[in-house]
Amino acid sequence: MHVFDSAKRFSWAYARVVDALWASGECVLDGQATARLVGMVVDEASRAFSVPIEKIAFSRDSIRGVLNWLGALEPAVVARDDRVDRFRRRHYCPPPMFLWAVDFLYRAHCAAHGVRMFLTPERIDQLCKLCVLDPSGLENVLMMTKRTSDYDRGGAFDYGTEGGFGRWILLARPCPVPSLPSGD
């Protein structure tokens, strides 16, 4: 992942596309939208990595690759309406995916597992982007994740607002995305 390894530029490009789609909230994924996304990623990559634009290999096919990954999400964020693909943030994501996003947040902010992390507006946005989740669905996902992995019953997750400091989350132990078994 580009946050932990700057050499993983494909991860950076994927994140930029998802962030741009998430920021739109909803959009038609036609040729114009694809061209805008390609131009945005190429322009930002040129600046971020000090690489001339003509040396950046990113195209409509790259966008299709990102959309293929997004198309596999359940619930869906890419759907076909009236013969046109459309992106929409979702209002729910499965608790395991949310736990992976929370674990990422802990690692990205160098927070110790088992310690409460306050949900600042920036962290809420980051969680929602990671899960391609509309912020209006966050409370429901917090509740469902607590039900499936309640810290008070031996699970890894908790959240609350006690203490007068605002909303917080707690991830008791690492919860990384599982690795796929090797074909050896």
Q: What pLDDT digit, counting tens, does each position of 17-33 carry? A: 999 999 999 999 999 99
Place of tokens 């690692």: 107
Q: Model confidence over 67-120: pLDDT tens digits?
A: 999 999 999 999 988 888 999 999 999 999 999 999 999 999 989 999 999 999
Among the ranges given (87-96, 127-136, 155-164), the one the predictor scored with the smallest mean pLDDT = 155-164
Whether pLDDT at 127 is above 50? yes
Domain map (residue ranges) of the chain: 9-88, 95-171
Bridge partners, residue 26, by sequence: 88
Q: Which stretches of 44-184 are assigned E, i.e. beta strand?
A: 78-81, 84-88, 117-118, 157-160, 168-171
Whether pLDDT at 183 is above 50? no
> Which tokens is 120 given?
């600042």
Q: Which of 18, 110, 134, 112 is nearest to 67 (CA)?
A: 18
Class of domain 9-88: mainly alpha
> Which tokens is 121 given?
């507006």
